[in-house]
Amino acid sequence: MEDNKAGHIERVLRNATGLECSVIQDAYGMFCMELPVNQIYATLLALYRDPELGFNFLTDLCGMHDPDKRGKELCVVYHVQSMTRRERLRIKAFASEDQPEFPSITGIYATANWMERETYDFYGIRFLGHPDLRRILNMDEMVDFPMRREFPLEDPLREDKADYQFGR
């Protein structure tokens, strides 16, 4: 029965976007898929609008950084949920550090506004079409993105964590 649900999601997306995709179900019952960046908006819009699927709630949107994956260093993970069907779907899309751009989905899910700003603030991922993409938690003067792996875990100039204060 679960394979039929994954197959139905695949059919809806194929009919709405022309995209050939593969939806799998993990051990916890969440459906999972990967998409190219240029298919994110159309896919999420189709999932939102389909009356049978009704993925009407964006649970989470977050970024990831893996500098070892050449050309796919940055990732945005979308978690959407169908409240009526009690189904969840995780979508991953990758981009390179050279072009960290994803389409904004604030036109589909208003809750994406804060999440996209936060992802930009910490990972430097730009969301094209976002109504107010600027830092939300870090200082405006900050030039780095603290959740990227090249960012140091501690500030080497801090005096309150000097080794001599801890008997080292």
pTM of the model: 0.86
Q: Residue 16 contacts by C-beta under 8 Å, 6 or more apart in sequence?
A: 42, 43, 45, 46, 49, 50
42 pLDDT band, cuts 50/70/90, is: very high
pLDDT for res 168: 65
Overall domain count for the chain = 1
Q: Residue 99 contacts by C-beta under 8 Å, 6 or more apart in sequence?
A: none
CATH label of the domain that carries residue 67: 3.30.460.80
Q: What is the pLDDT of residues 62-121, one digit of tens each?
A: 999 999 999 999 999 999 999 988 899 999 999 999 999 999 999 999 999 999 999 999
Q: What is the pLDDT of residues 138-160, one digit of tens each?
A: 888 888 888 888 776 666 677 77
Q: What's the domain range around 15?
A: 2-151
Q: If we measure between CA atoms, which residue out of 149, 143, 144 comes closest to residue 69?
A: 149
Collapsed DSSP state (helix, strand, coil) of residue 128? strand
